[in-house]
Chains A and B, each alone.
Chain A
Amino acid sequence: MVFSSLIFLYLFLPVCLLCYGLSPSLPVKNAVLMLFSLAFYAWGEPTYIILLLISVLMNYLFGLGIGKCQQTKKAGLSKVIMIISMIFNLGLLGVFKYSGFIVENLNLIPGVSLPIPHLTLPIGISFYTFQILSYIIDLYWEEIDVQRNPFHLLLYISMFPQLIAGPIVRYSSIADEIKNRKITIVDISEGLTRLMMGLGKKVILANHLSTIVDDFFGENIQLSVAGTWYAVIVYAMQIYFDFSGYSDMAIGMGRMFGFHFDENFRHPFLCKDISEFWQRWHISLGTFFRDYVLYIPIFGKRRKYGGLFLVWFCTGLWHGASWNYIIWGLYFGTFILIEQLIGKKRIKKIPLVLRHVYNKIVIIVGFGIFYFEDIGRLGSFFRNLVGLNGNALYDNVTELSVRNNLFLLIAAFACCFPLYEGVKMLRNRHASLVKVTNVLQAVWNAALLVVSSILLVDATNNPFLYFRF
C-alpha cells in the first residue's frame, strides 16, 4: 500500500487514526500502532511479513545477548554476538536483494554457470535492515539501553510511516518516545501539514514530472542535446519530490503519532558543493554510512580513502542491485574525494556562481546514471548529452514539452527552494502576518489534500520508486 493511494488515505489512515486516538493509554496506543503497522506490511507483502517478524525476533535475542554480556563485562562475547547479528542481517539483505545480481556477475566468469535465483525483493527490506543494524551497533557501543520488550522493538522496526520508504530512523532517536511521549494538538497539526506537503509533492509534482521523463527516456527515442538535458533535469526534480515527498509524509505521520523523526531532505539543490549535497540529500542514509561504515578499521593506514570508497560503494549498491547504482555511488565518491583533496578553504575562494554551475552539472548528470540501469543505454545517454550520437542540438519537441508543462516546471523549480521556511521567517518578523499565515496554512493544506486526492482518482501514473531499495 503506498501512501499516495486512495485506499491508504481514505481507509487505512482514518481507521488507524481513529483507533489510535480512542486508545486510552500509551501501551494501548503502542499496540494499536503496531497492529496497524503489521497489517500495513502484510497488505503489501503477505508472505514476507514472516521474514520481518523473524528478523525482529532474532535481533531482539541478539540484543538481549549483548546486553547480558555487557552487564557481566564479557566484551569478547558481546563482539561475537554483534558480528553474528551483522552476518545474519546483512545476509538476509544479501540473499533477498543481491543474490540475483551476484550470480549474474559470477556467471560472467568463463566456466561459471549458476542458476539465477529469482527472489522478489521484500518491500522496505533495505530500510528496516538498516534500522535494526543501528539498534544492534548502538547497543554494542553502549550508547543505548537494551530493549527488553520485544513488542517495543517490533513497533520500532515495523512502524508503518517509515517502514517502506524511509527515512532510516535510528533506534536511539525514538527509544524514549516509544516508552514515553506526549501528543499535543500542535504535533497533530504540524504532522498533518507535513503529510499534505508530502502528498502534494508526490502527486502533483513528482507524478506529473515522471510523465515527461517517461516520454523522453523511453526506449529507442532519439533525443536532442537540449532534450536530454531537459529530461534529466526534470528527472532530478522528479526523484527529489518523490523521495522527499515520501519522507515528508513519513515524518508527518510519525509526528501525528507523537514521534519526532529526523529530517531526511534539506533542499539539496541549494548545496554549494557535492559534499554539502549529501548533507542535504537523504540525510538518514548519509549519516548512517558516516557513523557505521566510514570508520570500519579494515583499510589500515589508508583508512581515510578506503573508508570513503567503501561508503560510496555501499551507498550506490544500497540503491539497487545493478551496476549503474554502484557507478552512481562511486561517481559521487570521486567528486567528494576531489573536494576533500582541494580542501574546504580553497573551495570557498572559488566564485559561488562557478561552484553552483559545477555542482549542479555533476548532480544532474548523476541522476542520469541513476536512471539508466542498462549500461548500453547509459552510454548512449552520455553521448546524447554532448551530441555525439549525431543528434540535433535542439528540437521543437523539447520546446513543446517545456511550453506544455511550463507551470508545472516553474512550480517544481520554485519548490526546490525553501519557500515554506521563507514564509515562516517572514511571519516571524512581521507580527501582522501571523494570523494570515495561520489561516493560509489551513486552507493550503486542505487544497493540497483535495487536489491530490482528485488527481489520484486518475492514477494511471503513480509510480512507486522504492521497490528496488
Chain B
Amino acid sequence: MLNEEIRKEQYSKDEDFSEEELERLQKRLEYYSEISKARAIRREAAACRMAESADASKKETAATDWYERIQSASEEDAELLIDDILKEIQSSSTAEEEASFAEEAETYEDTVVSHGKTAYVPEKKATETVPEKDPASSAVKPKKREAEQEQKRKPQKTAVSVQSQAPASSRLRTSGKAVKKLQKETNRQWKKEAGNYISGKMISANKKKAAIWNTAVSLTLLFGIAAGMVLLERPTISNEENRTLARMPVFSVDSYLSGEYTNGVSEYYNDTVPMRSTFKGMIQSIRKYMGLNNSSVIHGGVPVLQEEEPAVTTTTLPPVTTMLTQKTRTEGEETETTTTVTEAAEEEPEKEGEISNSILVVDNRGIMLFGGWEKMGEPYANILNRYKQDLPEVNVYSMVVPTVCSYYIPENLKHLVSSEKANIDYIGQCLENVTPVDVYSALEKHKDEPIYMRTDHHWAGLGAFYAAEAFSAEARVPFARIEEYEKHSKEGYVGTLYGYSNDIKLKENPEEFVWYTPKCNYTTTFISSDLSSQYETNFFANIDGWAPVSWYMVYMSGDDHIVHLETEVKNGRRLAVIKDSYGNALIPWLTSSFEEIYVIDMRYFGVNVISYMREKGITDLLFAMNSFSANGTNAQKMETIRVQP
C-alpha cells in the first residue's frame, strides 16, 4: 500500500503541519504517483511480453489464463504472479530475449524511481518496487505471501479506524485520498490497457479465421436457401388457408411497364415458398415463443384473415383482444368430465391460460376480449340520437349485444376484460328518445343454453331468439314462440375464431351449428348496396358443401347487400334494421312481428339512409350490433351512411 507511509506519518504527528511539511508531502505524493505509473508500465510491459510470447508459441490459452489470473488477483498478488509468469516465459524463451526484456522493464523503473529519489527518498519499501531477483523466492507461493501481506495490512486497518476517530488535518486526508484514488485509477488503467492489448492480439490473430467462418455460415445459408427456393417444387394451393396461391404472371410489355409483371413475380416468389405450410406452422411457434403477437387486435381493429375462395366471408370479426389457451380434452373425455368441470367451476379454480394470438380460449371456447371503457360508447349514442332527430316520427331502438366475454370468462381472468354491461348501460343513459333494448339481462338468464358459438365470434340462433323476444316486448309487436320454427343443425362447425387464433384446440373440438327457419310464409329480396339491382331469393342459403367456417352465412348469404322481407303480418309496422353481422341471425325471429323488414348493413350501404327509410315508410328503426361494433369503427360508418348523399 502506497499511502501507508503517509498515513503512518500523518498519525505520528500532530494535526498541524507546516507549509514545508505539506510541500514535502505533496512531493511525496507526486513521487508515489510516479512509482505507481512505473509499476503500471512495468506490468503492462510484462503483459505485452506475455501476449507476444503466447503468440509466438501459439499458447493463446495460456496467455488468457495468465491474464485472467492477473485480473482477478489483488495488486500485490498480481505483481507476484507476473514475476511467476515471467519465470515461466523465461524457461520457454531464449535467454537473450528475456534479458533484453528484463533490461527494458528495469530501465523504465529506474528512470522513474531515480526521478522520484531526487524529489524524495523513501526510507523503506524499496523492495516493493524492485522485482524479485532471487529465483527461490520468486517461485512464490502466492498464498504464503498473501498471508504475510495480510499481516502487514492489519496495523494499517487500525490506522484507518484511528483516522476516523481522530480529527486529522483535512488537507492531508485529501492527500491520502488522492494517493489512493490515483493508485486505483492507474491500476484500472493498466488492467484495461493490458486487457486491450492481449484481446487485441487475440482478435487480430483470430480475425481472419472468424471472418471466414462467419462468411461461410451466412453465405451457405443464403445460397442454400436460394437454391432450395429455386429448385424445390412450389405449392400451388394452400389447404390451411383454403386458397389458391399466386401464379407466375405472363410477361407482356404492357404488364411490365405498368409494374404489374414485376409485382406479380415478386408475389409469386414470396407466396409459393416450397414447404410453405411447414413454415407457416413455424411462424406460429416463433411468434408464440418470442412473444411476437401479430394480431393484438384492439377495439375497432379487424384482424386480417385470408379470405376463403369458395364462399367469401364478408362478416367482419368484431374487434378483439387477447386469447389464452387452455389444455384440450379429447371429445370423448369431454362428456365424461362435464360434471367435474362444473364442480370445479363452482370452486373457481385458477384456469391455466397462456396468452397467445389475441383470443382467449377457455374450455375450448374462444373469447374475444372487450376493451372499451364506459364513455367509449358515447359517439354511438350520439349518432343514434341524430338518427332520431332526423326521423322524429320513427321509433328508434338500440340493441347493443354483449359478447361471449360477458358471460363465459372465468373469474380469475375477468381482469382481462372491461365490463360490457357498464358500457351498454352508459350508452342507454346517453340515448335521447331512443329506446334501449336490454339484451344483456335477457341473455344472462339463458347463459347455460347454447346462445353463443364456441368457435365463432358470432352468437347462435338461440341467443338471437332471446334478444328478439326482448325487442318485441319493447316494440309491442307480436312474437312467435320457438315452436313455430324448424330447427336445423350441422355437425363439424369450426368458426372464424380458429382462423383468427390458429389455436388448434378449437379445430380439434368442432361444435354443432344450429339454425332455425320460420314456418310462416314470407318473401325475401336481395338489393345491391347501391340499389342498382335486386332479385328475389331465399333468406337462408343452402350451405351444403360450404367450408364450415362460412356457415354463419346461412343467414342471408352475408352482409354486402340490403335485404327486404315481406311477411304475412298485417299491422302496418315496417322495420329497418341497421346492423352488423350479429343482426343477421336476428331477422328470422322477427318474421311474425313486422309487415316488412329492411336489413341494412352499415358497412355496405351506398346511398343516404335517412331518405331511403323515409321513402320506404319505415315506422321502426332497430340498431342491432355487438358491443365491439358499437364502440368501434362500425359506429362511425352509421354516421357516414346517415350524412352521405
Contacts and interface: CB of A to CB of B under 8 A. Distances in A.
Contacts of B215: 185, 188-189, 192
Interface in B228-276: 229-230, 256-259, 262, 265-266, 269-270, 273, 276
A404 B358 contact: yes
Interface in B261-306: 262, 265-266, 269-270, 273, 276, 279-280, 282-283, 286, 290-301, 304
Interface string A178-206: 00000011101110110010000000100
Contacts of B258: 46
Contacts of A214: 301
Contact of A10 (B203, B225, B279): B225
Interface stretch (A101-109, A160-168, A427-435): A427-435
Contacts, number: 235
Interface in A411-469: 411, 427-435, 438-439, 441-443, 445-446, 449-451, 453-461
B395 interface: no
A192 B635 CA distance: 50
B373 A10 contact: no
A354 interface: no
B355 interface: yes
A460 to B, nearest CB: 6
A222 B68 contact: no
Chain A, interface size category, equals 35 or more
A188 B633 CA distance: 50
B632 A408 contact: no
A443 B216 CA distance: 11
A453 B226 CA distance: 11
A429 B369 contact: no
B228 to A, nearest CB: 8
Interface stretch (A135-143, A318-326, A340-348, A392-400): A392-400
B262 A221 contact: no
A404 B218 contact: no
Contacts of B64: 431-432
Interface stretch (B411-419, B515-523, B539-547): B411-419
A401 interface: yes
A211 interface: yes
Interface stretch (B193-201, B439-447, B461-469, B581-589): B193-201
A431 B298 contact: no
B206 interface: yes
B371 A397 contact: yes
A427 B207 CA distance: 13
A431 B373 contact: no
A13 B369 CA distance: 44
B279 A204 contact: no
A392 B375 contact: yes
A188 B216 CA distance: 10
B369 A400 contact: yes
B257 A47 contact: yes
B219 interface: yes
Given A403-B355, A432-B64, A46 B218 contact: no
Given A14-B223, A397-B299, A458-B283, A407 B371 contact: no
Interface in B331-383: 355, 358, 369, 371-373, 375-376, 378-379
B63 interface: yes
A408 B225 CA distance: 27
A7 B265 contact: yes
A305 interface: no
A248 to B, nearest CB: 14
Given A188-B215, A396-B418, A449-B222, A221 B279 contact: no
Residue among B206, B221, B372 facing the most chain A CB atoms (10 A cut-off):
B221
B496 interface: no
Nearest to B260: A46
B366 to A, nearest CB: 16
A58 to B, nearest CB: 23
Contacts of B198: 431
B199 A186 contact: no
Nearest to A462: B270
Contacts of B292: 204, 208, 405, 407-408
A22 interface: no
B416 A215 contact: no
A433 to B, nearest CB: 8
A410 to B, nearest CB: 8
A11 B229 contact: yes
Contacts of A461: 294
A251 B283 CA distance: 28
A404 B293 contact: yes
A442 B213 contact: yes
A396 B293 contact: no
Contacts of B633: 218-221
A465 B598 CA distance: 44
Interface string B542-557: 0000000000000000
B181 interface: no
B222 A14 contact: yes
B403 to A, nearest CB: 15
Contact of B199 (A9, A193, A431): A431
Given A192-B219, A400-B416, A215 B301 contact: yes
A150 interface: no
A379 interface: no
Nearest to B267: A7
Nearest to B269: A7
A358 interface: no
Interface string A219-249: 1111010000000000000000000000000
Contacts of B230: 10-11
B85 interface: no
Contact of A185 (B212, B295, B300, B358): B212
Contacts of B219: 17, 192
B225 A453 contact: yes
Given A10-B225, A392-B376, 18 more contacts: A5-B270, A9-B222, A196-B218, A204-B290, A392-B373, A396-B371, A396-B418, A397-B299, A404-B321, A404-B355, A405-B292, A407-B292, A429-B195, A431-B63, A431-B199, A433-B199, A435-B202, A457-B270
16 contacts: A7-B265, A18-B223, A45-B259, A196-B218, A219-B636, A221-B299, A221-B300, A395-B372, A395-B418, A397-B372, A400-B321, A404-B322, A408-B291, A430-B195, A446-B218, A457-B279
List the 3 closest pairs (A to B, CB-CB), nearest first: A407-B291, A397-B371, A189-B211
